[in-house]
Structure 1
Amino acid sequence: MRPALFCLLLCPVLTAAAPREATYAFQGVERIVAVGDVHGDVDALRDVLKLAGLVDARGHWTGGKAHLVQTGDIPDRGDQTREAYELLMRLEVEARKAGGRVHALLGNHEVMNMTGDLRYVAPGERASFADQSPAPDDPGAPPGTQGHRAAYGPDGRYGRWLRTHAAVVRINDTLFLHGGIAPDLPETTLEGINRWVAQDLTPGQPPGGASARNGPLWFRGYALDDEARWETGLTKVLGQLGAKRMVMGHTTTQDGRVRMRFGGRTVFIDTGLSTGYGRHLAALEIRGDRLTALYPEGRVPLLVPKSPAQSSSVQAPEPATAPQPAPREAISR
């Protein structure tokens, strides 16, 4: 279906649903599936959703009442960003009708595109937005520049949609976000953190959490630093936000596998899903206190509850020749 016709059919539904996105906490969800960074590879996204049993062969929702969380960084580096947006926009509507939810969270790359930082926009990706503006590109500008700016603006098709989305949500007892919640943030509630991030996307507001280097879209401390440095801070953050664990994308795992740290209280799901980073298909499934990694070769238990007071970690051996993802920039990723 052509994007213009798709918008005529779907945009009113999205507009009506947008105020409900102010809810940042969800309880009683039986099955949660989380997927990391997409980076313009809709085929990989569709394949991992099929792997998790959330969509059928045509890409339509089959997940019932499950909640899908995509932890941000849909755009940049790949040519299929628009297709990935359209897929998630449609699945939002289909999942709601089935009693489920799709949470497409904000990552640093969504915000970079909305605020004009286009360092990582692929040429074909930018050109794909050309039909989003009637204005011609300036002489010498890359094809699609005007359309890209319009599409990500406050009234643009994708900018309007993204601005209704959260940076962090809590589902049952698990926090989901792109980077990480540092213990020294100026906000200590879900509403406050999301409002702080939205400041950077609202004209006339002071700088907020979407651009802050220790903000929830950028922080890498739990992923990269020695655990002893953040042990106390992590405990503080989880207590403040009423959670047992934090699930994050943003920092790629070097072996293409879902990774846990801090005794299972942090989980990292950016496995390099896109073709540019090795196409390591992986998703995290949470059912109660049972965490399972989903891979094309099968299910791997990560955290299996033994009793209400005790859990053990079980990690399958990694293949000796596992492909390595390409290195990523230290900050802008």
Structure 2
Amino acid sequence: MKAKINKKVKRILKWTLIIFLAYFIATSLYYGEGSFDERTGFSTFYWSGLDDLRRADKASGLLVNEQYPTFLDGTDGPYVFGDKYYVVTADNEIVEGNVDSSGLIIVNTGIEEFPSFSVNLRSSYATETYDYKMPEKLIAISDMEGNLTGFYSFLLANNVIDKKGDWIFGRGALVLNGDFFDRGTQVTPLLWFIYHLDNQAPQSGGKVHFILGNHEIKNLSGDASDGSFKYIEIAKRISGEKQWDKAIRYLYSEKSEMGKWLRSKNICEKIGSHVFVHGGLNRLHLRERFSLEEMNMIARKYMGKNTSALAGMNKRDEIITNTINSPYWDRRLNLDWKIKWTYKLNGIKVLETTEKDLDQILDFYGAEKIIIGHSIVHDISTGYNNKVIKIDVEHGEELSSGKTRGLLIQNNNYYKIKDLDAMKSWSTIM
């Protein structure tokens, strides 16, 4: 009897294994299999799958020990280097031209309601300061990730801009709390639009604060692994570099207008009694008694450096730039179960910031609250008895979706706001 049961169990296991292997082979044959080095773009083995054979817009067929191909994908640019610019047309052709003496460039958006805007290039870029007085009104939004449509919709609905995309927020402050790169396909016009508002706001006494997040830092360093392949392709074409990281570093290098501008920005700032930082501050920053000025100086020192340049750095620099403890990577202020398990599976030991730790951190920086992005939440929300405000949400990608959300601070009140009619969609969060 026992022998029959064992035989039956073996038969079941055998056919389970056969079915599993058949499924794996069939899906790999149809959907593809393989990988490539996201730094170099080199693939030792890659099969596109039958579903992608003969496609002209992505890798097709079998790749063995060769570069993974990337392609242009519609209107993009401009990319400005000195007096030259490059744009990609809707037909995937690269057009090169000279910037005229006025320094005016036109940016096409691909948005029907907001098809284009003009930008005046600056002659120089002063390094941003890091400590500001609180304005009468402040709007903060985070993690737009290449989504100009949602960003435009949000600013328009909340009277930061008019329909033409011009600043009408007066002496108000607009804080962009990191991660405007990657994932979406409107990265370049989104960055130019921020540049445009950054130019206009001071003319009315206002200010745009562009806090750099981990995705800004990654791209400056040549890591475009979370971005659309079209940016890698344009980077290769402009730079003449085949290796992905070298091409992307060139695209945002100090030779480019965008690279020079981004290098003037900070990774953390204090506005009134609020610290704005993409990831967070933790007990290591407190223990080492980092000032905001020093953290920004260290981060700026390594912007655009490749990974080999980070090896052997001193302890203080390493804390500010590594992928666990850096202010633009830290997740201890929003350490949910998914993040905890991700750390555990990778053998990383990270302890959540306690409220006592946070009180000491806030006291050291002379702040009452810290506003973070980076770690996604269902809605604009608070933690640690309202001392932490979390503003990384899943934004809408259409106009007036009601899903694109941010934070408004006005008259010592805190509101979550949407890309719908101003005031009608406000709701207090504390």
Q: Which amino acid aligns with 1:214?
A: N
Once residues 57 and 157 of structure 1 are traced to their aligned partners in structure 2, the CA distance between those partners, rounded to angstroms, is: 26
Query: Aligned residue for 1:211?
Result: 322
Report what 1:149 is aligned to: 249
Q: Following TM superposition, by how much is the alpha carbon of 1:166 offset from its aligned partner in structure 2, in angstroms?
A: 0.6
Equivalent pairs counted in the alignment come to 290
Which structure 2 segments of 5+ residues have no match?
Answer: 1-76, 80-84, 86-98, 105-119, 338-350
| Contact 1:78 1:125 survives alignment (8 Å) | no
Higher share in strand: 2
**Pairing of 1:12-51 with structure 2 (within 5 A):** 12-13=122-123, 15=124, 17-19=125-127, 21=128, 23-51=129-157
Deviations 1:163-218 (Å, cap 9, x if unpaired)? 10011111111111100011212343211221232232276783541334111001
Identity %: 23
Q: How far off is 1:287 after superposition?
A: 1.6
Match of 1:189 among 275, 291, 300: 291
**Deviation readout 1:46-68 (Å, 9 max, x if unpaired):** 11111221011121111100000
Instruction: Give the TM-score, by structure 2 length.
Output: 0.62
In structure 2, the CA distance between the partners of 1:192 and 1:44, relative to structure 1 (3 Å rule), is same
Q: Please give the residue correspondences for 1:111-122 in structure 2 after superposition, counting only pairs within 5 Å.
A: 111-122=217-228
- Aligned partners of 2:246 and 2:301: how far apart in 1? 24
Of structures 1 and 2, the one with the larger relative CO (CA 8 A, separation 6+) is 1
Residue equivalent to 1:290: 413
Deviation track 1:129-155 (CA, whole Å, cap 9, x = no partner) reads 567x2x4453xx67xx87633221132
Name the amino acid aligned to 1:270: D
Amino acid at match of 1:249: G
Paired AA for residue 293 in structure 2: E
Contact 1:108 1:210 in 2 (8 A): no
Q: What SS does structure 2 have at the residue aligned with 1:169?
A: strand
1:229, CA displacement in angstroms? Answer: 4.7
Secondary structure of 2:428's counterpart equals: strand
Corresponding residue for residue 220 of structure 1 = 331
Cα distance, 1:224 vs structure 2: 1.7
Of 231-240 and 121-130, deviating more is 121-130
Cα distance in 1 for residues equivalent to 2:298 and 2:402 = 33
State the partner residue of 1:85. 191
The one-character-per-residue Cα deviations of 1:213-250 (angstroms, maximum 9, x if unpaired) are 11100111111259985211111111111111001110
Distance in 1, Cα, partners of 2:265 & 2:192: 15
Q: TM-score, normalised by structure 1?
A: 0.79
Of 31-40 and 116-125, more deviation after overlay is shown by: 116-125
Whether the 8 Å CA contact 2:158–2:419 is kept in 1: the answer is no
The aligned residue for residue 121 of structure 2 is 11
Could you tell me which amino acid in structure 2 is paired with residue 267 of structure 1? I
Q: Which amino acid aligns with 1:161?
A: W
**Which of these residues, 339, 356, 359, is aligned with residue 235 of structure 1?**
359
Between structure 1 and structure 2, the one with the greater Rg is 2
